[in-house]
Every structure is written in structure tokens, then in C-alpha cells.
């Protein structure tokens, strides 16, 4: 049974490695989400400003067309003024000319203000466009670097998965079934016993069970958490910190 315990520990170690790598592979792309959100926000603002500027340019073009028509109308009114035959016609034509001139002057002043504002908006739009381009380049570079990292993680995951599959093949089916059940319920299936205490649930085992584990003739479970248990000092070499200090 010692051999099966060793295989179970190897399987559990491999499972932990696979889960860690799967988590890393799944979480890595999300690390660039803040940058993606920043880019989307800037792009939305840029698109809105472009649409607004396009509306302004369309309005300005319409006003310019109207101004051109009013200038033609002014010429017609001036011709009418020159061709007036009496004071009544002269007065009416004079008022028409004056009204046309005022309308043209007002429209030209409005167009001048709008053109100045449009020029300023165009400059701001160019700056915003450069900002968006900078963030997009930053994201593309980050994604390219992340792809290499992701490819490396996937390669490690494939290797770890192969190691886990090989470890599973060494475990007897009866223990593999118990292992999988415990893994799904408890998160891990095999727990060491240190100084008579199960490290899965921190319960002190009955002395008789602790003695049975010492013989390593069978695979036992913890009475409390049901994990497969083993005496740590019998299967795992002690680290320097765990080795007993020689007595004086």
C-alpha cells in the first residue's frame, strides 16, 4: 500500500499543478481588460466628437450656401435700387438692401465664430486621435507580449496534464474513484498526519488508527474529514527545520 500512497501523492501534486496553470491561463487575458476598457472609452469619446464635428461642418456648409444665396439676393436688391423710378420704389429697395446687408453681416459673424470653434475642435480631435492611437499601440504590444506568455503557460499546462495522466494510470481504480470523489468535495483528497493530527481537518486521530498508519499495510481515511491519510514522516523526507535537534 505504500506504493499506492506514493502514487496518490504524486497524482495530487500533479492535480494541484494543473489547476494552478489552468487558473493562470484563464486569468491572464483578463489582466489587459482595464487597458481595453480605457481604449473603448477613449474611442467612444473620439467617435462622439467626430460626429459632432461632422454635424457642425454640415451646418456650416448649409449656412455658407445660404450666405451665397443672400449675397445674390443683395445684388438683385441693389440692381432694383438702381433701377427705381420714384421715391417709393427707392425707399422700398433701400430697406431691402439694408435688410440683406444686415442678414449677411449677422450670418458672416456667426459663421466666423463657428469656424473658429470648429478649427479648435479639429485640433483637439487630432490630439485625441493620437491619444487613442497611443493606447491602441500599447494594448497591441501588451497583447503580443501576453501571447508569448500565454503560449508558455499552455505548454506548461500540456506537460503538467500529461504528467497527471501518467500519475492517474498508476493508481488502482478503487483508490482512484475514492480520490476523485474526495477531490470534488474537499478540494484535495490526501492529507498528511503529523504528530497524530490530520492536517486536512486538524483532528487528533485515535491512537489505534495512528498505529495502523505506522505499519503502512493499508490505506486509511480520517474519521472526521474522510480524506485518505498517511504518516508524513514515513513518506516525506524531513526538511532541516523539521529534523529533531540532537540532545545536549
Q: Is the pTM of this model over 0.75?
A: no
Q: What is the mean pLDDT of residues 168-189?
A: 95
Note the helical H segments in the chain.
2-27, 33-82, 87-170, 173-186, 207-215, 232-235
Q: Distance (Å, rounded) from C-alpha 62 to C-alpha 50?
A: 18
Q: Hey, is 171 helix, strand or coil? A: coil
CATH class of the domain comprising 24-168 = mainly alpha
Does residue 241 have a pLDDT over 80? Answer: no
CB-count burial class (<10 Å; 0-12, 13-18, 19+) for 120: exposed
d(CA 124, CA 112): 19
What stretch(es) of the chain map to CATH 1.10.287.1490? 24-168
> Across residues 95-103, what is the average pLDDT?
91
What is the average pLDDT value for the chain, to the nearest integer?
Answer: 91
Tens digits of residue pLDDT in 108-122: 999 899 888 888 888
- Nearest 10 degrees: Cα torsion 89, 92, 94, 97: -120
Confidence class for position 65, pLDDT limits 50, 70, 90: very high
Amino acid at each position: 500500500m505504500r506504493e499506492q500512497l506514493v502514487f496518490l501523492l504524486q497524482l495530487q501534486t500533479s492535480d494541484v499543478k494543473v489547476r494552478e496553470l489552468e487558473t493562470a491561463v484563464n486569468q491572464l487575458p483578463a489582466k489587459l481588460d482595464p487597458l481595453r476598457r480605457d481604449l473603448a472609452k477613449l474611442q467612444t469619446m473620439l467617435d462622439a466628437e467626430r460626429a459632432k464635428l461632422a454635424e457642425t461642418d454640415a451646418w456650416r456648409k448649409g449656412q455658407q450656401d445660404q450666405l451665397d444665396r443672400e449675397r445674390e439676393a443683395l445684388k438683385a436688391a441693389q440692381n432694383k435700387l438702381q433701377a427705381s423710378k420714384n421715391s417709393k420704389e427707392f425707399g422700398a429697395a433701400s430697406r431691402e438692401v439694408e435688410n440683406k446687408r444686415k442678414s449677411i453681416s449677422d450670418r458672416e459673424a456667426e459663421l466666423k465664430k463657428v469656424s473658429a470653434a470648429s478649427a479648435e475642435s479639429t485640433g483637439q480631435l487630432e490630439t485625441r486621435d493620437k491619444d487613442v492611437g497611443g493606447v491602441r499601440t500599447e494594448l497591441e504590444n501588451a497583447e503580443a507580449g501576453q501571447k508569448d506568455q500565454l503560449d508558455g503557460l499552455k505548454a506548461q499546462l500540456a506537460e503538467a496534464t500529461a504528467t497527471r495522466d501518467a500519475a492517474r494510470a498508476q493508481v488502482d481504480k478503487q483508490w482512484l474513484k475514492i480520490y476523485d470523489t474526495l477531490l470534488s468535495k474537499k478540494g484535495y483528497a490526501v492529507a498528511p498526519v503529523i504528530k497524530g493530527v490530520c492536517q486536512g481537518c486538524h483532528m487528533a486521530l485515535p491512537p489505534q488508527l495512528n498505529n495502523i498508519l505506522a505499519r503502512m499495510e493499508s490505506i486509511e481515511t480520517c474519521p472526521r474529514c474522510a480524506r485518505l491519510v498517511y504518516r508524513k514522516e514515513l513518506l516525506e523526507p524531513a526538511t532541516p527545520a523539521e529534523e529533531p535537534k540532537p540532545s545536549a
